[in-house]
A = this chain, B = another copy of it.
Amino acid sequence: MTHIPHSRNNLLAPPPRLLMGPGPINCYPRVLNAMSTQLVGQYDPVMTGYMNETMALYREVFMTQNKQTLLVDGTSRAGIEAMLVSALEPGDKVLVPIFGRFGHLLTEIAERAGAQVHSIEVPWGEVFQPEQIEAAIKQFQPKMVATVQGDTSTTMLQPLAEIGEICRRLDVILYCDATASIGGNALETDNWKLDAVSVGLQKCLGGPSGSAPITMGERYLEVINKRRHVEAGIRNEHHYAGEGSRIRSNYFDLPMIIDYWGDERLNHHTEAASMLYCARECAINLLDEGIQSCIDRHKVNGDAMLAGVQGLNLTPFGDLQYKMNNVVGVYIPQGVDGEAVRHQMLHNFNIEIGTSFGPLHGKIWRIGTMGYNARPDCVFNTLQSLETVLRRNGHKLGLGEGVDAAMSVYGK
């Protein structure tokens, strides 16, 4: 077998990229530092204290009173799967409104859980109106509506408050994946009557992928608690084997994960302590800034980037009144090689902008301003470098008009 040379040659020293794509983005320095903190034991009162603190912090982040607010150990997709597989029994009906790639993902995960999935679609670049959701609920009579809030594949943000009202009135569980939106756009779990929400750290929360904060309300808990079981290897005479149909996954069995995070601390997985330190720090960082201040910062920097790309004679993608604050889609101008531009941005300027998926592949770039990188200097540097690259690739634009347009958004 080939021996990889270690030590000197394998020093971990990546180039200092400025990550202005749709996420992941550069982490806040304090979040990175948190991960280099030494561990304590899994049941050490210090560790369980951090777990409780993390629950309390994420209640604030999610704007909820939900006791069951905790972390799933995996990427944001792990949080989604835990939410769906714990609630959906084979044959259960679920409605998925699809307005981008991640709606397809919800469909796929729900299907694998054995659910009967009904999906409705709008073209990429649009969102649903509440009456469309209401009509579909009445038609399909689902147990759950599963939707994305912000879909980075299209940059669209689905309004949720009215959908929450509709689901409550029609007695349907509403689950939402808010990974791409949280921290940079309003997300009010309790006010909007969202029954279950999952997120990730790698967008506006300014951490790396690898931990999925989730929150579960009473109506969602009622569904999953019917399926509560205790693992054979650790069951004793006080425990029971459960009565509902067994959840198809052990790792994503939320009633078990709740027992692990709860007072009884029933062993499930070994909590990923470094990622917990990280998730905790992401929440503290957000709450220190203030949720509304952080959203406002994403709004102004997002607006500046939007004005900037328009100043570069580029056309933004999608229905802008529903655009997420933290990412903009930009049509690749005719005659310009989109991948060549991304390549030159990365290799000449250490700046990453995003490509696209599915029907938008090769048609738009996606440029993010999120978390640590929702800053004027990041916006200006990206626009200046993009100007240089576009100019040298034959795109017609006026000198300095991108960065000037962005500066005027800040009143400069």
Contacts and interface: CB of A to CB of B under 8 A. Distances in A.
B272 A210 contact: yes
Interface string A316-327: 000000000000
Contact of A73 (B47, B85, B210): B210
Interface residues of A, number: 103
Main SS class of interface, A: loop
Interface string A202-213: 100000111000
A91 B12 CA distance: 46
Contacts of A272: 74-75, 208-210, 275
Integer count of this chain's copies in the complex: 2
Interface in A17-63: 17, 19, 21, 23-27, 32-44, 46-47, 50, 53, 56-57, 59-60
Contact of A109 (B15, B21, B250, B284): B250
A396 interface: no
> Which among A34, A42, A102, A104 has the highest number of chain B CB atoms within 10 Å?
A42
A73 B275 CA distance: 11
A1 B270 contact: no
A40 B209 CA distance: 12
A348 interface: no
Interface stretch (A129-137, A241-249, A380-388): A241-249
Contacts of A38: 14, 16-17, 26-27, 32
Given A209-B269, A209-B273, A210-B210, 12 more contacts: A7-B284, A10-B284, A14-B38, A23-B270, A27-B39, A27-B274, A73-B78, A73-B210, A103-B233, A210-B273, A210-B275, A236-B361
User: Which are the 4 A-B pairs with shortest beta-carbon distances?
Assistant: A210-B272, A104-B233, A35-B35, A101-B233
Interface of A: 1-4, 6-7, 10, 12, 14-17, 19, 21, 23-27, 32-44, 46-47, 50, 53, 56-57, 59-60, 64-65, 73-78, 81, 85, 100-105, 107-109, 111-114, 153, 200, 202, 208-210, 231-234, 236, 246-252, 267-275, 277-278, 280-281, 284, 287-288, 346, 352, 355, 357-358, 361
25 contacts: A1-B60, A7-B284, A14-B38, A14-B46, A15-B40, A17-B41, A17-B46, A19-B40, A23-B270, A24-B39, A26-B38, A32-B35, A73-B78, A75-B269, A77-B251, A77-B269, A105-B231, A105-B250, A112-B246, A153-B233, A208-B273, A208-B275, A210-B275, A236-B358, A236-B361
